[in-house]
Structure 1
Amino acid sequence: MFFGNRLKTIRLENGLTQENLGKLIGVGKVTISKWESGMTVPNAHHLSKLEQTFLVERDYFDEFYDLTSSYRSLNATNQQRVVDFSNDLLRNQGNIINLFRYKILDDIRLSAGRGQALGNEFESRTVYSDKLYDYDVATWIRGDSMSPHYESGEVALIRETGYDYEGAVYAVVWNDETYIKKVFREKNGIRLVSINKEYKDMFAPFSDEPKVVGRVIGHFFPMEA
Structure 2
Amino acid sequence: MDISQNIKFYRKQKGYTQVDLAKLLNVKPTAVSAWESGRNKPLMDKVTLMANVFNINISQLVGDTFEVNDINPVYSKLDVNRKKNVYKYAVNQLDDQNKIIQMPEPTPESEYEEFELFGAVSAGTGEYLTDNKPEKVMYKGIVPEHDFAVIVNGNSMLPLFEDKQILFVKKTDEIRSGQIVIVDYDHQAYVKKFVRDEKSCRLVSLNKEYKDMPIDEEHDIHIYGTVVL
TM-score relative to the length of structure 2: 0.48
Structure with max Cα Rg: 1
Higher normalized strand content (fraction of residues)? 1
TM-score relative to the length of structure 1: 0.49
